[in-house]
Amino acid sequence: MTNSFTAQYGVLDNLTLSATVPLVAKSDIASDSDTAGLGDISLGARWEPFPLKQGRLPLVLFGSVSTKTGDSPYEVAQNELSTGKGYYSVGLGASTRKYIDPVVLFASASANYGFKETGLNQVRGNRILESFDPGISGGFSFGFAYSFNYDVSLTMSYQQSFNLNSEFQFANGESYQSPDQSSAVMAFALGVRVSPDTIVNGTVGFGLTEDAPDVSLGLSFPLDILGLRKK
């Protein structure tokens, strides 16, 4: 389970900076182990380079930098669980949308590059892991949002992600390149306005490929910090 807290700040009318702090809790019944702690903090930016113009699709560019503040899966003991991915990464992407009242169509695509981790000393069976190269990952999504009325909306989306060329290097000179992974999820989200300024979103996703989780659940809502919100 992951609880993520995200803060956003509008620097300009078309530029927004953000920071996300995840708190992660994991439990593994098979190994009878559990953990909880800080995940990987990430920083992001969202930029709309062109002003809105009738007849032209809006373009939003976004980028992110993800740290490795969580416990690395390549440094913990075999019977322990991690709270992070274990490496730094950067990402770039773009999104657009189209309004056809009362429906909003949307689509996005992104790519991420993970930086190689060296100096590891993790025991894996009878071998010792020395380095890990996460390779390139990315994905795309598209879908639509339908507004039933002022207070209730439904969003449906298809999400596809992939991970390529991950490589493990061991102390005995051996290397292992993991198979390319592809994950597809069909997600449904229900948005309910609980106050004039607050919308709560509940999400359920169903995995369509072997690498995707069978079912995922999510809940998101905004928090207004007094003193920081513009009057």
Q: What's the CA dihedral at 6, 9, 15, 17 to 10 degrees? A: -50
Q: 164, 180 in Cβ contact below 8 A?
A: yes
For residue 110, is it within any domain? yes
Q: 6, 36 in Cβ contact below 8 A?
A: no
Both 149 and 40 in a single domain?
no
- Size (the chain), residues: 231
Whether the link from the prior residue into 22 is cis, omega within 30° of 0, is no
For residue 201, is it within any domain? yes
For residue 91, is it within any domain? no
Both 198 and 136 in a single domain?
yes
Q: 111, 93 in Cβ contact below 8 A?
A: yes
Q: Give bridge partners of residue 153 from the DSSP assignment.
A: 147, 191
- The pLDDT value recorded for residue 1 is 81
CA gap 87, 131 in Å, rounded: 11
Q: How many domains does the chain have?
A: 2
pLDDT along the chain (231 residues), means of 10: 89 95 89 88 96 88 97 88 94 95 94 95 91 95 93 95 92 90 94 88 93 88 59 46
DSSP 117: B
Q: 88, 66 in Cβ contact below 8 A?
A: yes
Report the half-sphere exposure of 15 (CA within 13 A, side-chain side): 3
Both 82 and 111 in a single domain?
no
Q: Count the helices and strands in the chain (H runs, E runs).
A: 0, 16
For residue 230, is it within any domain? no
For residue 92, is it within any domain? no
CA gap 178, 168 in Å, rounded: 8
Q: Give bridge partners of residue 15 from the DSSP assignment.
A: 12, 47
CA gap 188, 2 in Å, rounded: 19
CA gap 83, 75 in Å, rounded: 11
- Where a domain ends, among 57, 86, 115? 86
Both 124 and 205 in a single domain?
yes
156: closest CA among 194, 185, 198, 183? 185
